[in-house]
């Protein structure tokens, strides 16, 4: 093991620094895993007992891989080394000390389905939600409870940030959370969250055990430290002590899991928590060519709080990333397909990835790829054709074209209470044998059945373009969406908006339905050969491709609408952008559509480029614009970074609140709400009260005091 030839200077420094607290800031593609592996091997070579090493990771697979590679270097296994996840370490420790945490007879660890079942039983015991079809499902109840615990914030705060539409159930959620906790204590049960919080409590209050573990684990290493939550950071502090031999490895710029409870402050504050911390930066990148790194360095330059780093590479290459400006999001899909076809001549298709902020953003591209016969595999989010609400609407469209489609009837009527497969078969038979008597009886018994049949009759008489038919159908489907998917209908609304965008490109309903039906089998977990990769940025972390295309780099899409309400969320969006761009090895293309189709108006609304794009100096990319003839042409346009005194988003005036009377619009226009974002005012039913259509949330009636008029 020659550390001088097999490691660069920074990696070698990290390996050789074995005493005291160490923070390794490992930039993207900088050989983080290699550094950990060689440090494990070096410690053992220096005479450290493998049993005195504790390696904490976020997946069992990564811990096993590191220990295996270190063992290969040493020529013998490291079976005595404790390596695994925080949860597995907590479980083993708690089992040995069950009496000290209030379980003298031991405890049972519940899996996800067990936890959901307990939530359901507690809800029923409390007699909550009876007769309320919109009541949150057991999975959603558990999600709200576990997010509250992992982020260590009240459930009310979780609802305000992530699920505002569930706010009416706040009192119920708090009651269920209390009942859930009591049920676990009563039956000696723990869930995955309990493992961490019980260990934290045990270590905080049991000094002999704390000292025993510190003596046993003289060397602690933690991988992906930027992904730790607050309780995990406290556990590390308990185990390491004030100045223990603890090495945290991670990258503050890749902290993108706040929605799971990860807290970037853990890695940023590490030097303050552990006095005398030595900070080592791994900045040499072994993945990407320098022009790509020049762009990603500029993205990080604008971060408010960070560890400074400058990624560099020895890989040859001088081609700048491309910043492509399609005329609209409707032409973006076609241009991306053209780029994929072009890149496919240079790289295998599975080495080409299209990344996006949210799963619904790839829907138009999925249709376009299917139409030209390009195979794809999607990671993160739901494939367009697999989304339940999309299937609902497509079933209704199929019935507009073909009333003999029995499978579509089953889908279209499944939400009607009291109408199961047998009843659907009877209705189907009655419609095709002109059994008016049975249909009259059925529609009298099931009012919503009558509504569906009447709506389909009206749609069949419309004719015209698919977009017009879909426009009317989506208005009809909106209450069904809310009733059928009460837990997450705001998120599903975005997919319906994309379906409306797709329909604009068709003049024939049969052709549209045909293209939407030509989807392959659901993707398997393993990577497919010769299939272009579609992925959310979150799912892309840790992966790499020869060519990366990043789409929808406009406000409200990247960054997301919700993130633009809070500075800390905007910082995470910046880190997402950094993660996305650093996935590219040789080629990076960024798409910034100039307008986005608005289904309500039937027109395209102009967009604002993502602030992360606006910050980029024009020296780090080649600007390319779509001409009105459909081609692409290079257009150099100065875009330098704003001066320090220039106005930024953070300098913008705050939204109007109840303490500050709103401006009264002379005519109906647009406004901003702190929760729902930007919306269009469509009516003013009474003084200081407005009906506003918020994309993704639908029509809301809002008191004017809570709106900022634009």
- 79: Cβ contacts below 8 Å, ≥ 6 apart: 50
Is residue 126 within 8 Å of 175, Cβ to Cβ?
A: yes
Kindly report the length of the chain: 710
Please check whether residue 313 is in contact with residue 290, taking contact to mean a CB–CB distance below 8 angstroms.
yes
Give the strand pairing for 532-536 and 82-85.
Answer: unpaired
Annotation-wise, does 26 bind a ligand? Answer: yes
Contact 380, 359 (CB under 8 A): yes
Buried b or exposed e, range 68-81, using 16+ CB within 10 angstroms: ebbbebbeeebeeb
The DSSP line for 139-173 is HHHHHHHHHHHHHTS-HHHHHHHH-GGGGGGHHHH
Of 605, 635, 602, give the one whose Cα is nearest residue 621. 635
Cβ proximity of 81 and 51 under 8 Å: yes
| Tokens representing residue 619 in the block | 């020296």
* Bridge partners of residue 569, in order along the sequence: none
Comparing CA positions, the residue from 414, 417, 422 lying closest to residue 392 is 414
Question: How many other β-carbons are positioned within 10 Å of the β-carbon of residue 533?
Answer: 23
Q: What is the DSSP letter of 705?
A: G
Q: Is 33 annotated among the ligand-binding residues?
A: yes
Q: 550: phi > 0 → left, psi -120 to 50 → alpha, else beta; which?
A: beta
Is position 638 annotated in a ligand binding site? no
User: Is 336 in contact with 354 (CB distance < 8 Å)?
Assistant: yes
28 marked as part of a ligand binding site? yes
652 is in an annotated binding site: no
- Is 228 among the annotated ligand-binding positions? no
Name beta bridge partners: 57.
85
**Cis peptide before 683, with omega less than 30 degrees from 0?**
no
Q: To which residue do tokens 């054709």 refer?
A: 385
Instruction: For 570-634, give the DSSP string.
Output: HHHHHHHHHHHHTTEEEEEEEE--SEEEETTTTEEEE--B-HHHHTS-GGGSEEEEE-TTS-EEE
The answer to the question of whether 84 is labelled as a binding residue is no
Instruction: Classify residue 523 as exposed, middle or buried by CB count within 10 Å of its CB (0-12, 13-18, 19+).
Output: middle
The reply, when asked if residue 368 is annotated as ligand binding, is no
Residues placed in the known binding site for ATP? 26-33
Q: Show binding-site residues.
A: 26-33
């Amino acid at each position: 093991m020659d550390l001088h030839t097999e490691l660069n200077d920074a990696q070698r420094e990290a390996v050789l620094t074995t005493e005291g607290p160490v923070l390794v800031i490992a930039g993207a593609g900088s050989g983080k895993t290699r550094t950990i592996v060689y440090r494990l091997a070096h410690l053992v070579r220096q005479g450290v007992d493998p049993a005195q090493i504790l390696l904490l990771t976020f997946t069992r697979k990564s811990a096993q891989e590191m220990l295996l590679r270190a063992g290969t270097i040493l020529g013998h296994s490291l079976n005595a080394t404790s390596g695994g996840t925080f949860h597995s370490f907590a479980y083993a420790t708690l089992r040995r000390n069950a009496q000290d945490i209030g379980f003298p007879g031991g405890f049972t660890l519940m899996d996800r389905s067990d936890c959901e079942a307990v939530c359901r039983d507690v809800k029923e015991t409390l007699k909550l939600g009876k007769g309320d079809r919109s009541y949150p499902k057991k999975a959603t109840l558990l999600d709200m409870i576990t997010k509250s615990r992992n982020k260590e914030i009240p459930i009310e705060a979780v609802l305000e940030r992530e699920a505002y539409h569930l706010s009416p159930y706040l009192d119920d959620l708090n009651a269920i959370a209390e009942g859930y906790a009591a049920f676990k204590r009563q039956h000696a049960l723990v869930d995955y969250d309990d493992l961490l919080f019980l260990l934290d409590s045990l270590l905080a209050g049991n000094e002999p055990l704390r000292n025993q573990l510190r003596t046993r684990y003289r060397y602690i290493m933690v991988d992906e430290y930027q992904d730790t939550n607050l309780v995990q950071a406290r556990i590390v502090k308990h185990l390491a002590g004030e100045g223990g031999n603890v090495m945290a490895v991670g990258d503050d710029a890749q902290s993108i899991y706040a929605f799971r409870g990860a807290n970037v402050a853990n890695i940023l504050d590490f030097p303050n928590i552990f006095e005398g911390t030595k900070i080592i930066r791994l900045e040499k990148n072994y993945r990407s060519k320098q022009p790509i790194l020049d762009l990603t360095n500029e993205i990080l330059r604008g971060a408010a709080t960070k560890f400074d780093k400058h990624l560099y590479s020895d890989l040859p290459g001088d081609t700048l990333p491309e910043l492509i400006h399609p005329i609209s999001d409707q032409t973006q899909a076609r241009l991306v397909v053209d780029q994929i076809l072009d890149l496919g001549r240079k790289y295998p298709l599975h080495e080409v990835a299209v990344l996006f902020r949210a799963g619904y953003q790839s829907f138009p591209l999925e249709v376009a790829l299917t139409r030209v016969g390009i195979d794809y595999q999607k990671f993160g989010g739901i494939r367009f054709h697999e989304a339940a609400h999309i299937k609902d609407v497509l079933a209704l469209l199929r019935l507009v074209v073909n009333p003999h489609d029995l499978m579509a009837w089953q889908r279209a009527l499944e939400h009607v209470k009291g109408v199961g497969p047998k009843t659907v078969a009877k209705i189907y038979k009655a419609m095709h044998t002109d059994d008016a008597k049975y249909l009259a009886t059925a529609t009298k018994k099931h009012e919503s059945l009558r509504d569906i049949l009447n709506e389909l009759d009206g749609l069949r008489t419309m004719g015209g373009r698919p977009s017009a038919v879909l426009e009317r159908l989506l208005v009809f489907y909106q209450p069904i969406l809310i009733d059928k998917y009460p837990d997450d209908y705001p998120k599903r609304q975005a997919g319906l908006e994309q379906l409306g965008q797709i329909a604009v490109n068709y003049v024939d309903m049969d052709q549209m339905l045909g293209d939407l039906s030509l989807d392959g089998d659901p993707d398997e977990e393993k990577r497919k050969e010769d299939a272009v990769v579609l992925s959310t940025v979150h799912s892309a972390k840790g992966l790499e491709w020869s060519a990366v295309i990043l789409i929808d780099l406009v406000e409200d899409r990247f960054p997301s609408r919700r993130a633009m309400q809070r500075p800390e969320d905007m910082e995470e969006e910046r880190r997402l952008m950094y993660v996305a761009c650093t996935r590219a090895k040789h080629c990076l293309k960024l798409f910034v559509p100039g307008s986005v189709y608005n289904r309500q108006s039937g027109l395209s609304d102009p967009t604002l480029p993502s602030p992360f794009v606006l910050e980029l100096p024009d020296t780090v990319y080649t600007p390319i614009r779509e001409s009105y003839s459909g081609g692409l042409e290079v257009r150099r346009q100065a875009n330098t970074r704003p001066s320090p005194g220039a106005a930024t988003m953070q300098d913008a005036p705050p939204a109007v609140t109840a303490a500050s009377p709103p401006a009264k619009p002379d005519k109906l226009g647009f406004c901003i709400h702190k929760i729902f974002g930007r919306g269009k005012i469509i009516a003013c039913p009474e003084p200081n009260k407005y009906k506003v259509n918020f994309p993704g949330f639908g029509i809301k009636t809002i008191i004017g005091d809570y709106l900022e008029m634009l």
